[in-house]
């Protein structure tokens, strides 16, 4: 038992059958090269600011669809002075045996390529057959009070852990919308606009129903596990359509959106953007126990609510897909009191997955005891503690 005996939690740690046993980086951020062999326990990365702790978490986050926890263009993650050919590779241990997964520069259209067991994958989403990833970073601390775009990206990341193709659907929708905006600006041909709006409507309906279904499942599961330490949230979407009468079928919603976009071309041209669609929806979050909008809570309440959401999503993903997601928690313990830290560590161990945590102060992770491996990070170099 690695936990403080005074802790209220009784945890019997079992190394998860699905875990990362090897991690290799090449020309990634401030790592010319790096290698870690892991035993399935949680991993704690300790070191000063700027040492490369978050960079390592970012590398793991790129084993999921999308652009990782920083959301940057792929060329930005290459080490300065390198030829731009960065790579991240892991061995994932599973009940069916080890799986080698790698991703890096060199994919089509400036994207990235993926290899699984030495063979080129057809899509990035194929990695999701073997692993899922969730993360929590300090940049997300202002989620409830910040711009709606941040909450949409947070929501879409949660949905992507359940529906790996969701990230690509959102990207395709945004690309089509930019084409429509350019055509409106150029007073383009109405037939081209009809075709683009039809494409947008198909993608928009898929996005909306994926979000709504995932939120319903998450809210139901969060209500099961809400506690004083990490309270449950009541979740919803702001209206997609002005009258809030969203048709119950994809075909109905597609038709409604096509009609609205066709009728709104003059207004959208004047505004310089598309005024209706899933890109305008916000995630509405309420502290369920207090019946209070999350944005009105204290800093501590908001942090606890956010952690509770991520923990609930991890449980939902495991229950729905059979794959417990790896959790990347950047500086998560720094602003928690000892009681909430103990509650968090207990919840992480109970999830039955592998978590990767960072911090500048090793004392913050003392309660984990032998439940975690510890690595010191300094100037892009990794050193395991004995």
* pLDDT score at 1: 33
| DSSP conformational letter for 273 | S
> Residue 266's CB: how many other CB atoms inside 10 A?
9
* pLDDT score at 264: 96
* pLDDT score at 89: 98
Pick the CATH number of 143-299 from 3.40.50.150, 1.10.3720.10, 1.10.1740.10, 1.20.1050.90: 1.20.1050.90
* pLDDT score at 220: 86
- What is the rounded distance in angstroms from the CA atom of residue 231 to the CA atom of residue 305? 6
For each of the chain's 386 residues, which pLDDT tens digit applies?
Answer: 344 434 444 444 567 889 999 999 999 999 999 999 999 999 999 999 999 999 999 999 999 999 999 999 999 999 999 998 999 999 999 989 999 999 999 877 778 999 999 999 999 999 999 999 999 999 999 999 999 999 999 999 999 999 999 999 999 999 999 999 999 999 889 999 999 999 999 999 999 999 999 999 998 887 776 556 888 899 999 999 987 688 989 999 999 999 999 999 999 999 999 999 999 999 999 998 899 999 999 998 999 999 999 999 999 999 999 999 999 999 999 888 888 999 999 999 889 999 999 999 999 999 898 889 999 999 999 998 86
Question: What residues form DSSP beta bridges with 355?
Answer: 327
* pLDDT score at 10: 41
- What is the rounded distance in angstroms from the CA atom of residue 363 to the CA atom of residue 352? 24
Domain with CATH 1.20.1050.90 in the chain: 143-299
Domain with CATH 3.40.50.300 in the chain: 1-132+323-386
- What is the rounded distance in angstroms from the CA atom of residue 351 to the CA atom of residue 319? 11
Q: Which single residue is written with the structure tokens 């990490």?
A: 230
Q: Cα Rg for the chain, rounded, in angstroms?
A: 22
* pLDDT score at 237: 95
Provide the CATH topology of domain 1-132+323-386: Rossmann fold (3.40.50)
Tell which residue, 65, 68, 2, has the closest CA to residue 29: 68
């Amino acid at each position: 038992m690695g936990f403080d005996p005074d802790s209220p939690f009784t945890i019997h740690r079992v190394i998860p059958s699905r875990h990362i046993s090897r991690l290799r980086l090449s020309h990634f951020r401030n790592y010319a090269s790096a290698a870690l062999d892991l035993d399935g326990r949680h991993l704690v990365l300790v070191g000063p600011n700027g040492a490369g702790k978050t960079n390592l978490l970012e590398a793991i986050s790129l084993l999921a669809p999308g652009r990782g926890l920083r959301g940057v263009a792929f060329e930005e993650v290459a080490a300065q002075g390198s030829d731009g050919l960065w790579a991240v590779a892991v061995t994932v241990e599973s009940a069916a045996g080890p799986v080698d997964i790698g991703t890096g520069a060199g994919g089509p259209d400036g994207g990235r390529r993926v290899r699984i067991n030495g063979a080129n994958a057809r899509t990035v989403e194929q990695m999701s057959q073997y692993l899922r990833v969730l993360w929590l970073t300090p940049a997300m601390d202002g989620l409830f009070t910040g711009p709606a775009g941040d909450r949409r990206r947070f929501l879409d990341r949660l949905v992507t852990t359940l529906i790996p193709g969701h990230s690509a659907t959102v990207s395709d929708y945004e690309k089509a919308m930019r084409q429509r905006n350019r055509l409106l600006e150029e007073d383009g041909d109405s037939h081209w606009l009809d075709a683009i709006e039809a494409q947008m409507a198909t993608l928009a309906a898929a996005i909306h129903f994926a979000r709504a279904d995932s939120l319903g499942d998450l809210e139901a599961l969060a209500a099961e596990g809400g506690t004083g330490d990490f309270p449950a949230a009541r979740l919803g979407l702001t209206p997609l359509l002005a009258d809030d009468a969203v048709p119950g079928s994809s075909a109905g919603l597609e038709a409604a959106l096509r009609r609205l976009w066709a009728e709104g071309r003059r207004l959208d041209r004047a505004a310089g953007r598309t005024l209706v669609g899933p890109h305008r929806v916000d995630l509405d979050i309420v502290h369920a126990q207090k019946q209070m909008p999350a944005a009105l809570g204290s800093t501590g309440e908001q942090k606890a609510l956010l952690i509770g959401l991520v923990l609930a999503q991890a449980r939902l993903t495991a229950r729905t897909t059979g794959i417990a997601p790896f959790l990347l928690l950047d500086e998560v313990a720094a602003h928690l009191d000892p009681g909430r830290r103990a509650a968090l560590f207990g919840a992480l161990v109970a999830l039955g997955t592998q978590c990767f945590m960072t911090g500048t102060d090793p004392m913050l992770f003392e309660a984990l005891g032998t439940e975690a491996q510890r690595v010191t990070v300094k100037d892009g170099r990794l050193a395991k503690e004995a």
